[in-house]
Amino acid sequence: MSRIDLDRVSVRVPAADGDLLILDETSLTLTEQRIALIGPNGSGKSTLARLVNGLVTPTTGRVVVDGLDVAEEGRAVRRRVAFAFTDPAAQLVMPTAVEDVALSLRRTHRDKAARRRAALAVLASYGLEGLADRSVHALSGGQRQLLALAGVLATEPAVLVADEPTTLLDLGNSRRVGDLLLALPQQLLLVTHDLELAARCERALVVEGGRVVFDGAAEAAVARYRATA
């Protein structure tokens, strides 16, 4: 597994009446395979998750992934750490499903025909082969989220950070995507309001008011959050 270190990381953003502290000096070492971030709306979960691939920059402190400082070696970190957004529309940029996955493979497969074949194989591994030439706009929400995940995972990152990847999905698709995420060989950092999914991780952090207020076994974290929410 990868090792993600946050060393006294704070995040402040400019606000009308001075800076707003959205993550208070936080130090963590994350080495477990599946780690959930849970907590109320606006508590800082997405901010914490986004620090890991440089989408958010620390105001103070350092984030290090497998020895790579995210602020200094962002490109190398983003090759190791993939990010999946809540809304798959944020990452589906090509007209068809197969072209979208092929775009992810442009570095590893220079030849166009070989790239298409590899993209079709990726789609097949997610049960999406029948949708290869379908417009990404003509897919259901569940199919779109699976396709977005297939695209980010096609590059075989070491870590997947997923920010509420099941929130927009119905019950069946939410289960399907949740099961897929938990079965990944990669390290998974999962921001979620789905407490059943969170409880299936090895470790969970409860975030409240920009601080990690509980960090431990996922079932204990979920119980603590349920008791205080």
Ligand X SMILES: Nc1ncnc2c1ncn2[C@@H]1O[C@H](COP(=O)(O)OP(=O)(O)OP(=O)(O)O)[C@@H](O)[C@H]1O
Residue range at the interface with ligand X (CB under 6 A); choices 25-33, 43-51, 89-97, 106-114? 43-51
Question: CA separation (Å) from 192 to 10, 25, 84, 186?
Answer: 22, 22, 12, 18
104 is an interface residue for ligand X by CB under 6 A? no
Residue range at the interface with ligand X (CB under 6 A); choices 39-47, 131-139, 143-151, 182-190? 39-47
Least distance from C-beta 194 to ligand X, angstroms?
12
22 is an interface residue for ligand X by CB under 6 A? yes
Which lies closer to ligand X via its Cβ, residue 45 or residue 115?
45
CA distance 118 to 192: 31
185: tokens are 């060989």
CB atoms near residue 121 (< 10 Å):
13
CB atoms near residue 67 (< 10 Å):
10
Number of residues that bind ligand X (CB under 6 A): 10
Which alpha helices (DSSP H) does 154-211 contain, by range?
171-182, 195-199
Which lies closer to ligand X via its Cβ, residue 45 or residue 176?
45
Question: What's the one-letter identity of residue 78?
Answer: R
Residue range at the interface with ligand X (CB under 6 A); choices 35-43, 65-73, 171-179, 198-206? 35-43
Chain residues binding ligand X by CB under 6 A are 13, 22, 39, 41-47
